[in-house]
Amino acid sequence: MTAVRRVAVIAAPPVSLFNLAIPELLLAKVEVDGGPGYETVVCTPAPGPVATSGGLDLYIPRGLDAVDDADTVILAGSGPVDAPEPRVVETLRRAAAEGKRIAAICTGSFGLAAAGLLDGRSATTYWAYRERLAALHPDVDLQDDVLFVQDGQLVTSSGYAAGIDLCLHLIRTDHGAAVANTVARLALVAPVRPGGQAQFTLTPLPPERGVSFAATRAWAMEHLDRPLTLTDLARQAGVSVRTLSRRFHAETGVSPLQWLLHQRVERAKELLETTALPMDVLARACGLGTADSLRRHMLQRTGLTPSAYRASFSRLTGA
């Protein structure tokens, strides 16, 4: 039986309701070995009514002592960014010293920076606040144009929906790609868009900006083992190849074939984590053709050979 992971979500007023809801929405959907994968508690410096950035008050009964029992701490975006709540800052310092994993959604990164945890580390924040973070904390290696960044035990995300990507990344790290992708489907959000290893910057697919080809993308996901062409996709969508290419790029930010390759590599990762399939069989199952092709694309996308990736991330019992 997999142990339940404990997560403390810190709400420092005025907290973003959207940021605060993301961990509960996604982590609550994780089921492992027939039971919950996470136990999540929301806490705040002064238990009781807590102001939100939307003008509402939430009642949060737990104080920051909830962090003591947590494996992971998530700081939701809040303000004021120039002077994060001192009790939160001290709690983050203590949690880091104890080796806990700490994540910040949106402007939560200002709390980590104020605690000195991001000095010399890679991090990101909501794009509208990047210049302010750089001015206040020049020792932070601030990353632009990424959804989220992990550097050691610290994970930071850019604004709003990037918190979803961050939480799916945490789920994938803890429980594997298959569980994370199941959660993404249940929550009706884009599939998990993970990155590399212990210390890395993540550059996944851009956010989708339309749904007119959503059925075509879903169909392609069900047929990744086939050698799909632009003609196949256009025929399924009922449009010309030219129309498909133009509108698909407008919706996804990449060409149909780039999107397909990304999904094939993600499927390969999932199969490497969850099966013992031989490499040539696995390559065919995700549409990459041969073991040599699988190896080349895995090296390009992850820096690891398929064998090394399986050795590092296999979820098989006894692996």
Whether 167 is a known active-site residue: answer: no
Tokens read off for 5: 């992971």
DSSP strands (E only) in 95-167: 101-104, 122-123, 141-142, 148-151, 154-157
- Helix, strand or coil for residue 138? coil
Asked whether 65 and 32 are in contact (CB, 8 A), the reply is: no
Q: Which residues are paired to 141 by β-bridges?
A: 122
**Whole-angstrom distance, CA of residue 319 vs CA of residue 311:** 8
Which residue, among 71, 119, 117, has the nearest Cα to 98 in the 3D structure? 71
CB atoms within 10 A of CB 315: 17
Tell me the CA end-to-end span of the chain in Å, nearest whole number.
15
Tokens read off for 94: 């203590």
Distance of CA 87 to the CA centre of its chain: 27
**φ and ψ of 29, to 5 deg:** -90, -5
Which is catalytic among the residues 43, 106, 167, 286? 106
Asked whether 158 and 206 are in contact (CB, 8 A), the reply is: no
The residue with tokens 């296999």 is 314
For 233-270, give one letter per residue: b (16+ CB within 10 A) or e: bbebbebebeebbebbeebbeeebeebbbbbbbbbbbb
Q: Catalytic residue numbers?
A: 106
